[in-house]
Structure 1
Amino acid sequence: MSMKDFDSLVGIWNEQKTSPNINYKEVINHYKTNRSKLSFKFLLEILAMLIAFSVVSYIFFTIEFEFWTSYVGLILVNICCIYFIAMQIINLKNIANSNTLFDKPQDHIQFIKEFKKSRYIQHTRNYKVYTFVLGLGLSLYFVEFFYRLNLAVMITVVAATIAWFVICYLYLMKIYIKKEEKRFNDMLTDLERLNEQFSDEV
């Protein structure tokens, strides 16, 4: 390496060392924005699933079915609704109770990492079980209509339902996971930038 190249390398290093500190307020506001959006998304999903639960419950108690499979199917669908609502309430509560950002930044970073891992498990392993139970519930519910609807209509309904499950599982869920992972990564990036800056100043 020539002396000129060495001087250039030293200059670049010095520029990096003397770069201005990050704007704490900007980073924290960005972190809080992502956190608020995540909480709001959970809240909307809870409300949407409460509506679905109410509709299914209304059908269960107001319509008389000929086959017991319809009642079992609706119960399974509502179990899925209850599970989803319960998980989102827990997620919402965890975010609301995570107040270690300023007291223990390292603990808060660890909390976000564990929360991210937990959500990924919910989206993958738990979602497979959720989809199976929901699909089983709808299948039992459709038994009633097999004897009431025209065969062509029944085939169309079943095909549309299967297509929707496939689209959700193979496409929409991947987009959902990708967006949430990005939000978690943005939050972790903000926290780690703050933590590194604090560590440099100590």
Structure 2
Amino acid sequence: MKDFDALRDIWHGQTALPKLGPEEILKNIRSTKQKFSNKLLFQVFSISIAIVTFIYLFLKADFRYGTSQIAMLIAILCLFYYLFVQLRDYRKINNSEQLAQQPGEYIEYLKNYKHQRYILNTRIYTVYMFFIALVIGLIYIEAFVYMPLWEVVLIVAGTIAWFAMCYFVFMKTYIRKEESRINFMIENLERLQKQFNDTPDTAN
């Protein structure tokens, strides 16, 4: 990641960059796209494991209160939705290779894709966090019955702090890195498009 950031800093800091061939520019685009696809694929794999785990708990765990079963069901539905979204976006970015030879269309495709990901990582993520908080709260109802008050306060405070870290720190970093990769692809395509536009018409 440091090499990636350094490359972007060099790119923006130069007034005149050496002209890269289309093959080299496309190689940069494919490399960045592959890293982004692999990240989404890893998330799909992780979410799938989480879904299996929650389904097992829902079927096998001996819950005393119905609130815990409701919590498990909500968690499973949220994870299935998140799995669907990540798998959909993985296929979108992974199957966009046919646009590589059409920089203008590919640029618009990536800009729209970036906007959709931003909505997912902000508005939809906020709703997702609300349901996860609801799941944890429902599970805590059963756990807190057997715990002293000081432990309850400590756990609730720790949970709130964890949610705050996820929302204000980890997710901000995640969005910044994701947008950096997509922006890098867009910048490469704009560079490629400019080279095509600057190429003299050999037929004249």
TM-score after normalising by structure 2: 0.85
Shift of 1:20: 5.7
Match of 2:170 among 169, 172, 180: 172
User: Deviations along 1:108-145, whole A, 9 cap, x unmatched?
Assistant: 11110100000000011101111111111111111111
Aligned partner letter, 1:95: I
| Structural mapping, 1:130-149, within 5 Å | 130-149=128-147
Give the AA of the match of 2:189: L
Mapping 1:1-202, distance limit 5 Å: 21-201=19-199, 202=201
Whichever residue aligns with residue 80 of structure 2, its letter is: I
* Larger displacement relative to structure 2 (45-54 or 153-162): 153-162
The 2-side partners of 1:20 and 1:83 are apart by: 45
Change (3 A) 1:56 1:102: closer
**Counterparts of 1:106 and 1:142 in 2: how far apart (Å)?**
52
Contact 1:100–1:107 (CA<8 Å) still a contact in 2?
A: no
Please provide the CA RMSD for this pair. 1.6
- CA drift of 1:148 comes to 2.1
Structure showing greater radius of gyration is 1
Aligned length: 185
Identity of aligned residues (%): 35
- Retained in 2: the 8 A contact 1:43–1:92? yes
TM-score by length of structure 1 reads 0.85
Q: Report the AA paired with residue 61 of structure 2.
A: I
Letter in 2 for 1:81: L
Partner SS for 1:124: helix
The 1:157/1:55 distance shift into structure 2, 3 A limit, reads farther
Q: Which amino acid aligns with 1:27?
A: I
How far apart in 1 are the matches of 2:43 and 2:155? 25
**Runs of 5+ unmatched residues, structure 2:** 1-15
